[in-house]
Chain A
Amino acid sequence: MIHSLFLISNAGDLFLEKHWKSVISRSVCDYFFEAREKAVEPDNVPPVIRTPHHYLINIYREKIFFKLMFLFSKLGVCFIVDVLYRMCADYFGECSETTIKDNVVIVYELLEEMLDNGFPLATESNILKELIRPPTILRSMVNTITGSSNVGETLPTGQLSTIPWRRAGVKYTNNEAYFDVVEEIDAILDKSGTTVFAEIQGVIDACVKLSGMPDLTLSFMNPRLLDDVSFHPCVRYKRWESERVIAFIPPDGNFQLMSYHISAQNLVAIPVYVKQNISFFETGSSGRLDITVGPKQTMGKTLECLVVTVHMPKVVLSANLSATQGTYNYDPVTKILVWDIGKLNPQKLPNLKGSLSLQSGAPKPEENPSLNIDLKIQQLAISGLKVNRLDVYGEKYKPFKGVKYVTKAGKFQVRT
């Protein structure tokens, strides 16, 4: 049971509080501030803090601490963590201190609708959007002129239907259904470039704008590839079990249809290789850095948005480097070196070379920093997953259909 919610900015400003049961003084947050001070990184604040009467759950996202208090633990912790995650992701689009402060009333109303007595009531974003319309520029202009409100005039009917995720009476002149297959490669490569661990995490995001109550069936060329799947509640699990097709009545608009997981290590193609040499000298308080990035198994596609991020040891004061392609930036406060390469040219491999200057007198760092790589490949699902066809049942019209494939690097790390 969620008792109260406090939102605290990174700077320690408590800017929203909401109580679902009786009011709890905000002084409980002192426990949190204490813990926050102890932890150096905001990431390291313990997720659960025990206080004499309450338990504080801390969730850190987008530089805001969501802090929940509650008395009872019956629902398990996961539960609460998930509600808030959903709230951020689904509703606000961008969720930052400013947007919340600007829309404080809407946020408050939303919280009111989402939970009743601390128990989640409506977390389906379609229903919430019907209850309280999300603010858009156009509507806020209209509202100022006409004095109308953001609260839905009609009462939501979705909650009453057997398919709560879809509102009734949807109508479009252009019926369209688009699917984005987005795959992320999670990998750890070791110093020599061998794969220590690799897996593919995929999601299929859908944008379905179809009239009426269409019943869709999406089938794959190679469904056996999928190792582990999780679905939006609209997907009929039995059909998947028996026929390996995804049959569903879609929610209206954007939603995540499914996510999947491919873990067979040999199957995972690593699209990029990195040659790196980072060394620190015992004397002279300096170090050398030399990184070259090249394409590996790209299936003939171009690597885009290539970014290499290095978390430097604390003693590195500055970096004096030169890049053959792209730009680099070293932030001496966070000790993060970011090298933005952009598109990878296979003919002329990008290289970043130069020297690092260390704090004088400090011992040379033990560890070489590991590299995090970010990249994007358009029109390719690295696992080879292919959508076969999409069938629409239950409605007469012929919708526009489209599938897009993108591969990205997820948690892609090169150890040095």
Chain B
Amino acid sequence: MSASSAFSDEKGGSASEPEYGHDPASGGIFSSDYKRHDDLKEMLDSNKDSLKLEAMKRIVAMIARGKNTSDLFPAVVKNVACKNIEVKKLVYVYLVRYAEEQQDLALLSISTFQRGLKDPNQLIRASALRVLSSIRVTIIVPIMMLAIKEAASDMSPYVRKTAAHAIPKLHSLDPEQKDQLIEVIEKLLADKTTLVAGSVVMAFEEVCPDRIDLIHKNYRKLCNLLIDVEEWGQVVIINMLTRYARTQFLNPNVNESLLEDSSEKAFYASDDEEDEDKKTEAAALAKRKPYVMDPDHRLLLRNTKPLLQSRNAAVVMAVAQLYFHLAPKAEVGIIAKALVRLMRSHSEVQYVVLQNVATMTIKRRGMFEPYLKSFYIRSTDPTQIKILKLEVLTNLANETNISTILREFQTYIKSMDKDFVAASIQAIGRCATNIGEVRDTCLNGLVQLLSNRDELVVAESVVVIKKLLQMQPEQHSDIIKHMAKLIDNIQVPMARASILWLIGEYCEHVPKIAPDVLRKMAKTFTNEEDIVKLQIINLAAKLYLTNSKQTKLLTQYVLNLAKYDQNYDIRDRARFIRQLIVPTDKSGALSKYAKKLFLALKPAPVLESPFKDRDHFQLGSLSHLLNAKAGGYQELPDWPESAPDPSVRNVEIPDWSKCTSRKDRKEKKVDKPFYSDSEGESGPTESADSESDSGSGSESASASDESGSGSESEESGEETESEDEEEDEEKEKKRKKHLDKTKAKKPAEESAESEQSSGTEDRKRGRKAVKNQKSASESESESESSESEDESEEESEEESESDTDIRKKKTPVSKQPPKQSKKESKKEKQEMSLLDLDDFEPAPTSAPVTPVNFLSSSLVSDLEGLSLTDTILAPTTIAPSGLIKLYELLHRITGEGLAVEYCFSRQPFSPDPNMVAVQIQFTNNTNSETKNLHIKEPRLQSGMRIREFAEIEVLAAGESVTVVMGIDFCDSTQAANFQLCTHTRKFFASIQPPVGELMTPVFLTENDFKKEQGKLMGMNEISEKLTLGEKCVNEHVIVERVTATANLSRVPCGSDKECRFAGKTVSSGCLVLVTVATKEGGRAQLTVNCEKMVIGTMLVKDIMQALSQ
């Protein structure tokens, strides 16, 4: 370093290369100002890069030290085109710093950057844009605007990112450009690269944070990209999405009791990680309850959760605040752990985290209770941290932990840090007021502190005791007496005032002491502090009213002293009180009430946390930290009363699927079977954001009601269609109400019930379904296309039937959807008119995937439904229901015109959960009615049971009907034999289940799966190698094949080489776990774990067959 300080001031960091700079520089000190930097100018003008570099380094060092070097501007700017990259960089630094002051000269450099913007190297383009946009010169605004626009559509994401960064710069330079900039932002928001996402959201927040509409289309993409965005981008995005979610979704805690319900219910999802379970559960809840969590809302929560594990404190904090502001109560708890982890960081981070924790603990105390001890205070913590920890501890105190907390507080009181001791005493006071049980203990402890040697401690205790005593003064006259004695020693004004107030207030409890205290105080009145003086006057007044005999003179003396006090407040008070209490001739009516006025019962003070109500600021923001609105703070909006239209977030399929990362899709795959299982038919799947109540609600309701109305219409078969229609609606309403009431636990049963009732559906059903479908979807072509798919599937199955006659009739016979399509054309006219009467909700435009279901009715809607066949999305669309096989029970010929087919509908059979639901379809192909269809004389293996369907009274000619019966196969593939009777004939029939139908899906997480698999090793594990069939090219096909073979659900899996499935047998509930691990060359390994080895072996066989085809 240089020897003289004056020198180093001038030259800043000249240390690095002193040999050149010395002489000219020292000359600079003596020369006049304009000559000051001659040496540097000389160096900059030289031809040698090393000299230029040296000069630039010195200049930058001067800038860093805050020295003014603006006079060098022309000399420096000349070097902007220098070849040496370091010189160039330093010139940029200089330029950005001084361009604002030397606008004209700065313009000289612009052309260099403009050239840079055209450079083939993306990094040079980016850095040129960066510097150009950093030059704060208004004249170049149009150039900047142009450059930003161009860069926004650059090929390189890095350049686009730089463009996003440039937007706020330009905006702050010239707010007039806002509209144009918003256009650019809109364009960049649609960008799909992670590199750009964070930066553009930052620009959005800076320029147009209120244009929430720009986010809609990109919402899901942002959620899905989030995990791959760089850390700082994550923070901005999360904060923005928090605000967004607050405007777009409903408050998940709007119905607290409802949530408690669900948390109780979550016993099988007790593990925090089982997000899926919760999700599905919440979704199930959604169906039945007035509150429905939007799937997009859920998406946000799910995708941000892993970020709690980030190493970056800011990201963790951002996620924590998101959960705090958005998550249902039951889920907020997961953030506690992460926040406690942050507390080990540096004291500044600790300070911020503790501030937020303090706010959170007020609202959700339970969350941090397990971490109570992490908030214990060390003597080496800085004071502000100590006080915050104390705040948190106080907030966490409750009946169960108060004793530990008080013990802890006791050690704090002995601390050397007096501010902290005072805060501890206050904290004890707050605990005492909040928790009645410990009030006496606390009071005793505080009274002991009164004999402390430190005056501050005593004073603080007095103040706190005063507050506590106000709650129950009667019992504590001893303490008051004790405190009265203290007044001789305590000098702290606040404490003295508190004691005096106490004595005055409760002078009736200490009648002997009070006048004596007043006497003492009267003596010292003139030397007291103002607050003490006021309290002396108060005491005097109160004593005068209660005990005027002893204190009349004293009071007058005090009032006289006060009358001549220097403080006008005290003079006024004295005058006022004298008028009030001393009866004179003139004194008005008021003096009669003086006693009431002074000795009215005063409400005890409420000791509140200073952090109360701070949560209206977004947590983690500076405003929250300061508890005041900081500049640029975006208000966190309140939840809306009703959710705005969620369909705005829908994007065209290709977009959506492209940006969905693989793992997300996997997760969804899991949700899906759940839906289709519990909800039976209509599976609003995946992002059936369905805007939930309206969309999917109506969808499923109409579906189930449709089937439900089947039984109804049995009796009212003669009714006209429109009547039916009305009835339908009515039923729907009823059902909805009913649904609201029922607990979310029952959705599965419920839908099964409706399912069962659908068994007695009559022929009108088909038409109705069509109607519903029409009204709901308004897109026939879609439903038709999916139906035709179904049709072709059947055809292949029933190839054996070559009879063309049968063919013709087959459509109505075999399945509902084909029938619909047939009837559709017939009834079209009528339907059209009926359509107008409908007040069904318009179809959800959103549900990107809607499976067409056997029982049909699935109200597939618009274009997005087409994604059913979309290969990208296909994996998510596998619904077991879509792949149901039909089996023949009675051939048309053997049945003398009565054809009976059955299938395993894979719905839970609600009357008896141990039974497999079998759906039977009767078709009357004769010309006359068939009557009294029923089951007779079942001959069953031991243990097997049948629950028959209700007798079908009449089946008209050419019509068909579907019923559901339950059979308990006792987990064996033995056939169930029985007689099928009509009013004229008996037919022998037998139903033999494929092994795959003896199970029902269960939902496991990957961890649970592994755990369970670990239990089912050895004999219970059957493993086979196989070669995959030619068509089993991808995961999707495998999943499809397996789920078609067996009624299992997919288990999420981290690796893409493995597919896992889980289910349990219907009657005994034994777990069935299937793993298909694919290897190179189309080989694969199939593993089945099941306690029932027979089932396992058979299942292996079936799946192998299915996969090797």
Contact = CB atoms under 8 A, between A and B. Distances in A.
Given A78-B349, A117-B169, A48 B414 contact: no
Interface size class of B (residues with CB under 8 A): 35 or more
B168 interface: yes
A239 B1054 contact: yes
User: Which interface residue of A23, A55, A76, A78 has the most chain B CB atoms within 10 A?
Assistant: A78
Interface in A151-202: 151, 153, 155-156, 159-160, 162, 164, 186, 188, 190, 196-197, 199, 201
A41 B633 contact: no
Given A81-B352, A82-B349, A239-B1054, A229 B239 contact: no
Nearest to B308: A230
Interface in A1-33: 1, 14-19, 21-23, 26
Interface string B55-90: 001001101111000000000000000001110011
A44 interface: yes
A393 interface: no
B924 to A, nearest CB: 54
A156 B158 CA distance: 12
B158 A159 contact: yes
Contacts of B338: 228, 230
Contact of B454 (A77, A228, A366): A366
B134 interface: yes
Contact of B378 (A79, A109, A123, A188): A188
A367 interface: yes
A105 to B, nearest CB: 5
A263 B373 CA distance: 10
Given A74-B621, A77-B625, A238-B1054, A123 B351 contact: no
B666 to A, nearest CB: 9
Interface stretch (B227-235, B495-503, B839-847): B227-235
B53 interface: yes
A228 B337 contact: yes
B239 A18 contact: no
A300 B100 CA distance: 68
A274 to B, nearest CB: 15
A65 B89 CA distance: 27
B379 interface: yes
A238 B317 contact: no
B382 A22 contact: no
> Which of A21, A104, A265, A368 has the most chain B CB atoms inside 10 A of its CB?
A104
A119 interface: yes
Nearest to A314: B416
A386 interface: no
Contacts of B13: 101-102, 104-105
Nearest to A131: B89
B661 to A, nearest CB: 10
Contacts of A159: 158
Given A14-B66, A55-B622, A238-B1054, A230 B239 contact: no
A105 B1054 contact: no
Given A18-B64, A81-B313, A366-B414, A73 B623 contact: yes
A334 to B, nearest CB: 12
B12 interface: yes
B1041 to A, nearest CB: 24
A145 B718 CA distance: 105
B1081 interface: no
A105 B311 contact: no
A159 B380 CA distance: 41
A344 to B, nearest CB: 23
A47 interface: yes
Contact of B309 (A46, A237, A365): A237
Given A43-B347, A105-B57, A237-B309, A17 B168 contact: no
Contact of A47 (B93, B156, B351, B453): B351
B15 interface: yes
B472 to A, nearest CB: 30
A153 B371 CA distance: 51
A230 B378 contact: no
B384 to A, nearest CB: 7
B93 A109 contact: yes
Interface string B445-460: 0000000111000000
B61 A76 contact: no
B97 interface: yes
Contacts, number: 269
B273 interface: yes
Contacts of B84: 149
A201 B351 CA distance: 19
Contacts of A73: 621-623, 630-633
Interface string B609-645: 0000000000011110110101111100000000000
A368 B411 CA distance: 10
B368 to A, nearest CB: 13
A22 B63 CA distance: 14
A25 to B, nearest CB: 9
A102 B1 CA distance: 9
Q: Which of B121, B351, B633: most chain A CB closer than 10 A? A: B351
Contacts of B634: 74
A367 B416 contact: yes
A112 interface: yes
Nearest to B100: A22
Q: Count chain B CB atoms within 10 A of each CB in A124, A160, A190, A369 and give the residue with the most.
A: A160
B235 A75 contact: yes
Nearest to A365: B416
A71 B632 contact: yes
Interface in A28-82: 41, 43-44, 46-48, 50, 55, 57-61, 71-79, 81-82
A361 interface: no
Among B348, B411, B454, max chain A CB count under 10 A is at B348
Interface in B302-347: 306, 309-314, 316-318, 337-338, 340-341, 344-347
Contacts of A368: 414
A243 B65 CA distance: 53
B622 A241 contact: no
Nearest to A41: B382
A77 B622 contact: yes
Contacts of B309: 229-231, 237
A375 to B, nearest CB: 17
Given A47-B351, A105-B61, A121-B165, A77 B346 contact: no
B632 to A, nearest CB: 3
26 contacts: A17-B64, A22-B100, A26-B66, A47-B347, A48-B625, A72-B206, A72-B632, A74-B206, A74-B621, A75-B314, A77-B621, A78-B317, A85-B346, A108-B63, A109-B90, A112-B89, A117-B168, A151-B86, A156-B123, A197-B374, A237-B227, A238-B1054, A263-B371, A366-B453, A366-B454, A369-B416
Interface of A: 1, 14-19, 21-23, 26, 41, 43-44, 46-48, 50, 55, 57-61, 71-79, 81-82, 85, 101-102, 104-105, 107-109, 112, 116-117, 119-121, 123-124, 147, 149-151, 153, 155-156, 159-160, 162, 164, 186, 188, 190, 196-197, 199, 201, 227-233, 237-239, 241-243, 256, 259, 261, 263, 265, 311, 313-314, 363, 365-370, 372, 410-411, 413, 415
Given A116-B165, A313-B416, 15 more contacts: A22-B100, A26-B66, A43-B382, A47-B347, A73-B622, A76-B314, A85-B345, A147-B49, A160-B156, A196-B408, A199-B374, A230-B341, A232-B311, A365-B416, A369-B416
9 closest Cβ pairs, A-B complex = A73-B622, A72-B632, A242-B1054, A151-B86, A73-B630, A149-B86, A43-B382, A155-B123, A147-B50
